[in-house]
A = this chain, B = another copy of it.
Amino acid sequence: MSNPRTSHFSVPPTEALRVDAGFDLSTLDPGATPGWDHGRKAAEKSMARRGRDLSDLQERLFAHGRTGGERSVLLVLQGMDTAGKGGIVRHVIGMVDPQGVDHAAFAAPTAEELAHDFLWRIRRRTPRPGMLGVFDRSHYEDVLIARVDDLVPRATWEARYDQINEFEAELAASGTTIVKVAMFVSLDEQKERLRKRLERPDKHWKYDPSDLAGRAQWPAYQEAYQAVLDRTSTPAAPWYVVPADHKWYSRLVVTELVLDAFRSLDLDWPTASYDVAEQLALLERS
Contacts and interface: CB of A to CB of B under 8 A. Distances in A.
Q: How large is the interface on A (under 10, 10 to 19, 20 to 34, 35 or more residues)?
A: 35 or more
A198 B283 contact: yes
Contacts of A272: 201, 204-205, 207
A265 to B, nearest CB: 15
Contact of A205 (B201, B204, B269): B269
Interface string A57-81: 0000001101100000000000000
A86 B90 CA distance: 20
A8 interface: no
A204 B282 CA distance: 15
Interface string A2-45: 00000000000000000000000000000000000000000000
Interface of A: 63-64, 66-67, 86, 89-90, 93-94, 97-99, 101, 103, 105, 134, 136, 191, 194-195, 198-199, 201-202, 204-209, 212, 215-216, 269-272, 274, 276, 279-280, 282-284, 286
Q: Which 9 A-B pairs have the closest CB atoms?
A: A63-B205, A204-B272, A215-B286, A90-B97, A202-B269, A205-B270, A198-B280, A89-B99, A93-B98
Given A198-B280, A212-B279, 13 more contacts: A64-B205, A66-B205, A94-B97, A99-B105, A191-B284, A194-B283, A198-B276, A198-B283, A202-B269, A204-B269, A204-B272, A205-B270, A207-B272
